[in-house]
Amino acid sequence: MTQHPPTTGPSDSSSVPPSTTDSTPDDTADATQHPSAVARNALDEARQRTLALVDAVPDEDLVAQHSRLMSPLVWDLAHIANQEDLWIVRQAGHRPGLRPDLDPLYDAFQHPRADRPSLPLLCPSEARQYAAVVREETWAVLAEADTTPASPDPLLADAFVFGMLAQHEQQHAETMLATHQLRKGPPVLAAPTPPAATGPHRLPRDVYIPPGAFVMGTSTAPWALDNERPHHTVDVPGYWLDTTPVTNGAYQEFIEAGGYQDPRWWTREGWQHVQKAKLQAPLFWFRDAGQWTRRRFGHIEPVSANEPVMHVCWYEANADARWTGRRLPTEQEWEKAARYDPEHRPLTALSLGRY
Ligand SMILES: [Fe+2]
């Protein structure tokens, strides 16, 4: 959360130096490897995750619709393969493709999620097979492709189309995780226990980001999508920004203070949403013997006070921010802070992960 700069900062705050304005982000997927190798690794990683999410449940769960908000998992799997068939095999590879006849069936724009279970979808074994044979064809295209930055084909230069499809598959991993979260039944996914806290927090609550321009977006990151291009200079007034996400513990204070019952903290649309959805707490939270408890991927567990709050929508995050006397950061404020690199300032790539 953020707030406009006070004349004097709070005692638990610190300031970071301003970034200069004349830099151009030089963010590459991985400057030390050939683009084809980077692409192959990214596609491999994405597929491992996809198959882990698919293989975790029996076939009847793959074809079931766990929520009208979501597709059956088997739709995601075949859609991932179909997009790869379309963009890598046919568009970039100029090959006939494996199943062009499936394009309309797996076109997300043609069929709302709620309608997808009634479509004549590939069954789980057919979808797995389709994904596997498309991937083999992808490797053949990649082996022949000129993926150097100088390639005359914009789909192949810097392995763009391969990166695009790896990112597309990663995005569907997020979608499939949402489906898993909405699925009823015993847990099938498990994550390692997060590391224990190492001691008292050393970060100040927030930092002051001085006013000034920064370079937003990119013109050079090879796999950046068009909505991140081109890079452009944005002048941002000074602001304070929290150094850590809002925790479950902090969010509980908003709940206990009656935040969900007080329209003062909500936008008009947000208040309507809270009432219509009968929200009293983040989705998947409930009280058990006086303790906040949650269902996460089928696991019933106490809400951990130190973890970042999850499963709140923008309306809830905005209301909580207003209750604390703050506000949510704008996209420009967030990106300016996220791009700051104390070692290589003013800054290179977004430090928010590779995708
Ligand atoms: Fe998609």
| Residues 35-64 pLDDT 10s | 999 999 999 999 999 999 999 999 999 999
User: Cα(140) to centroid of ligand 1, in Å?
Assistant: 23
Cβ atoms of 17 and 207 closer than 8 Å: no
Quick one: 328 and 229 in the same domain? Answer: yes
User: Cα(80) to centroid of ligand 1, in Å?
Assistant: 7
User: Cα(219) to centroid of ligand 1, in Å?
Assistant: 24
User: Cα(169) to centroid of ligand 1, in Å?
Assistant: 8
Cβ atoms of 279 and 316 closer than 8 Å: yes
User: Cα(241) to centroid of ligand 1, in Å?
Assistant: 33
What are the start-end ranges of the H helices in the chain?
35-55, 59-63, 73-84, 124-144, 160-182, 248-256, 268-277, 314-323, 331-339
User: How many folded domains does the chain comprise?
Assistant: 2
User: Cα(76) to centroid of ligand 1, in Å?
Assistant: 8
The reply to whether 39 falls in a domain is: no
The reply to whether 38 falls in a domain is: no
User: Cα(131) to centroid of ligand 1, in Å?
Assistant: 14
* Percent of all residues in the chain with a pLDDT value above 90, rounded to a whole number: 75
Nearest Cα neighbor of 347 from 21, 72, 66, 16 is: 21
Domain boundary among 182, 216, 250: 182
User: Cα(109) to centroid of ligand 1, in Å?
Assistant: 10
Q: What is the DSSP string of 284-314?
A: TEEEETTEEEEEETTEEEEPPTTSBP-S--H
User: Cα(165) to centroid of ligand 1, in Å?
Assistant: 9
Quick one: 211 and 340 in the same domain? Answer: yes
Specify the DSSP element, H or E, that contains 223: none
Quick one: 242 and 283 in the same domain? Answer: yes
State the pLDDT at residue 196. 79
The reply to whether 37 falls in a domain is: no
Residue 245, domain extent: 1-29+204-355
User: Cα(177) to centroid of ligand 1, in Å?
Assistant: 14
Quick one: 212 and 296 in the same domain? Answer: yes
Domain boundary among 182, 212, 244: 182
The reply to whether 285 falls in a domain is: yes
User: Cα(6) to centroid of ligand 1, in Å?
Assistant: 44
SS3 279: coil
Two structure tokens written together for 76: 């995601």
User: Cα(24) to centroid of ligand 1, in Å?
Assistant: 31
Two structure tokens written together for 56: 């975790």
Residue ranges in the chain whose pLDDT is less than 70: 1-31, 200-201, 342-355
Quick one: 134 and 19 in the same domain? Answer: no
The reply to whether 311 falls in a domain is: yes
Dihedral sign, CA of 131, 133, 137, 139? positive
User: Cα(58) to centroid of ligand 1, in Å?
Assistant: 23
Domain boundary among 125, 149, 182: 182
Quick one: 97 and 128 in the same domain? Answer: yes
Quick one: 25 and 62 in the same domain? Answer: no
Complete edge-to-edge strand list for the sheet that includes strand 239-242:
2-3, 239-242, 206-209, 13-15
CA distances, 190 to each of 54, 55, 169, 286, 298 (Å): 14, 13, 21, 21, 10
User: Cα(168) to centroid of ligand 1, in Å?
Assistant: 6
- Tens of pLDDT, residue by residue over 274-321, are 999 999 999 999 999 999 999 999 999 999 998 999 999 999 999 999
Quick one: 163 and 62 in the same domain? Answer: yes
Cβ atoms of 251 and 309 closer than 8 Å: yes
Separation of alpha carbons 4 and 260, rounded Å: 25
User: Cα(85) to centroid of ligand 1, in Å?
Assistant: 13
The reply to whether 189 falls in a domain is: no
User: Cα(164) to centroid of ligand 1, in Å?
Assistant: 11
User: Cα(172) to centroid of ligand 1, in Å?
Assistant: 6
Two structure tokens written together for 121: 């979808």
State the pLDDT at residue 24. 38
Separation of alpha carbons 241 and 244, rounded Å: 9
Nearest Cα neighbor of 313 from 323, 321, 304, 324 is: 321
- The structure's pTM equals 0.83
User: Cα(152) to centroid of ligand 1, in Å?
Assistant: 27
